[in-house]
Amino acid sequence: MAAPDARARTVVFVDGVRTPFGKAGPKGIYAETRADDLVVKVIRELLRRHPELPPERIDEVAVAATTQTGDQGLTIGRTAALLAGLPKSVPGYAIDRMCAGAMTAVTTAASGIAFGAYDVVIAGGVEHMGRHPMGEGVDPNPRFLSDKIVDPSALVMGSTAENLHDRFPAITKERADAYAAASQAKYADAVKNGKIGPELVPVATRSTEHGWGLATADEPPRPGTTVEDLAKLKTPFRPHGRVTAGNAAGLNDGATGCILADEDTARELGLPVAMRLVGYSFLGVEPEVMGVGPVPATEKALKRAGLTIDDIGLFEINEAFAVQVLAFLDHFGIADDDPRVNQWGGAIAVGHPLASSGVRLMTQLARQFAERPDVRYGITTMCIGIGMGGTVIWENPSWNGESK
C-alpha cells in the first residue's frame, strides 16, 4: 500500500458573502431576527451563487460566535447547516476567538483542507450583539485580578484602546478622529461606486412596530461625518480620554460566510479561485493593550511566509478602534492615508459584529484582488480581545507578474 502524499495542499478562497450589518439594540434592523437565521441566509446565498457546488461535496461548516448562548449556541455550525437545507451528512461546529472568530474558522478549516481531511468547507461567523451583548453570562475568574494576571482595564475593550493611546502618545485623539472620518468617507465612496453591495445578502426582517421589511444595506455608516463632528463626542472610557463612539467600531449585528476549497477540487468543480492562502499567524500580547496584537502577528506571519511588509500590496485591517490601526501603520512605517489600506473603508463605518468580521475583510480583499492584477499579496489582520492578534496572508491568482 502506497504511503499517503504528505505535501500540504493549496487552499483557496472561492467566494464570500455577508448580510448587511445592523445596529445592535431594540431599534436595529435585526432586533427581532434570530442570529442562526442570519447564518442560514449566508449559507443559502453561497449555494445559490455557486450551483456548480453539489451540497453533498461540502465536508464541514465552521461558524464562529463570541457569545455562544441562545440562538448563537447549540453548535451553530451544525444547526445552521441543517436549517439551510444541507444534507444531514454535512457536519458542523462552533468556534470562538472573540473578534477573530470567523478568521479562526477560516484558518482552522483551511488547515483541514491543507492536511487532506476536507475538500470543500463553508466557514464564517455571526454576532447578534443586540440579543447577546459582549460579555453576556461570562464569569471571569477572580484570580485574573487578585493574582494580577491582567490589568483591570484588560477586560474592557474601550479601556484597552485608551491604554494604547497612552503607550503611543503620537497617536492623538485628533489623529484618530481624522482616520475615522476618512473611513466613513471611503466607505461612502465605495457604496456610491458599487464596490460595497454585490457581496450583500438581502435579509427579510420583522418588527412588531413596523411589520415586515428587507435589509439590503448596512445600517451603521454615518456618511458626511467630519472631524468637527467627532471632536464633540464624549469619551466614555476615561474622563478627557481619546476613544469615542466615532473613532471606534459600534455594537452591531450581522453574519458572514465563505467557501474554501483545495485548489484542485475547485478546478474540478468549476469553482472560481479568488485568493490563495499563503499563511497565517495568531499571537498573544499584553491583554491591557490588545489593540497592538496585529503587529507581532503580522511579523510572525510574514517571517514564516518568507515575505516582508513591502511585499504586501493591499491591507484589510479591522478597525475595532482607530488607535489600533494607527499603531499598526506607525510600526510598519505606513502613512495614515496610504491607499493600500482599507481602501473601501472599515469597521468604524460599516460596523463590527465581533465574530463575523474576519470574513468581511477577506471578502473585500478578494474583490479588490480581482481589480488589481498588479498586486500579488494582501493581508487581513485584526486585534483580538484578551490580548491577541491574528493575520492571514493571501495571494492574488490574477497577479500578472509585473509588480509585487
63 torsion bin: left (phi>0), alpha (psi -120 to 50), beta (else): beta
Q: What is the pLDDT of residue 83?
A: 98
345 torsion bin: left (phi>0), alpha (psi -120 to 50), beta (else): left
The alpha carbon of 141 is separated from its chain's Cα centroid by a whole number of angstroms, namely 28
Q: Please, which residues have CB within 8 angstroms of residue 339's CB and are 6 or more apart in sequence? A: none
Please list the residues that pair with 262 across neighbouring strands: 11
Cell triple for residue 176? 484618530
Tell me: pLDDT of 175 over 60: yes
Q: Please, which residues have CB within 8 angstroms of residue 399's CB and are 6 or more apart in sequence? A: 373, 374, 375, 376
Instruction: Provide the residue type at 334 as one letter.
Output: I
Alpha-helix residue ranges (DSSP H) falling in 225-352: 227-231, 263-269, 294-305, 322-331, 347-350
CA distance 260 to 310: 27
Band the pLDDT of 6: cuts 50, 70, 90.
Answer: low
What distances in angstroms separate CA 48 from CA 43, 54, 55, one per listed residue? 9, 11, 11
Tell me: pLDDT of 378 over 50: yes
Tell me: pLDDT of 82 over 80: yes
Average pLDDT of span 289-309: 98
Q: What is the pLDDT of residue 1?
A: 37
Q: Please, which residues have CB within 8 angstroms of residue 377's CB and are 6 or more apart in sequence? A: 278, 307, 311, 312, 313, 314, 393, 394, 395, 396, 404
| 50 carries an active-site annotation | no
Give the burial string for 279-289 (b: 16+ CB within 10 Å, else e).
bbbbbebebbb
Average pLDDT of span 303-308: 98
**141, exposed or middle or buried, with CB in 10 Å at 0-12, 13-18, 19+?**
exposed
Q: Which of 78-82, 90-94, 143-147 has the least mean pLDDT? A: 143-147
| 258 carries an active-site annotation | no
**Residues 311-320: pLDDT tens digits?**
999 999 999 9
Cell triple for residue 324? 489600533
Q: Which domains does the chain have, with CATH numbers?
A: 152-195+278-395 (3.40.47.10)
Q: Which of 128, 132, 165, 352 is the catalytic position?
A: 352
Query: What phi and psi values does residue 321 have, to the nearest 5 degrees?
Result: -145, 145
Band the pLDDT of 210: cuts 50, 70, 90.
Answer: confident
Cβ(387)–Cβ(292) below 8 Å: no
Percent of the chain with pLDDT over 90: 93
Residue pointed to by grid coordinates 499571537? 283
Give the burial string for 194-203 (b: 16+ CB within 10 Å, else e).
ebbeebbbeb
Q: Which of 4-13, 61-70, 75-84, 272-281 has the least mean pLDDT? A: 4-13
Give the Cβ contact number of residue 20 at 10 Å. Answer: 25
Q: Which of 128, 132, 165, 383 is the catalytic position?
A: 383
Band the pLDDT of 354: cuts 50, 70, 90.
Answer: very high
Cβ(263)–Cβ(380) below 8 Å: no
Band the pLDDT of 124: cuts 50, 70, 90.
Answer: very high
Q: What is the pLDDT of residue 2?
A: 41
- Work out the mean pLDDT of the chain and round it to a whole number: 96
- Provide the sign of the torsion angle of the four alpha carbons 148, 152, 158, 160, taken in this order: negative
What distances in angstroms separate CA 165 from CA 99, 168, 173, one per listed residue? 20, 5, 8
Q: Which of 99, 128, 132, 165 is the catalytic position?
A: 99
Tell me: pLDDT of 7 over 80: no
Tell me: pLDDT of 97 over 50: yes
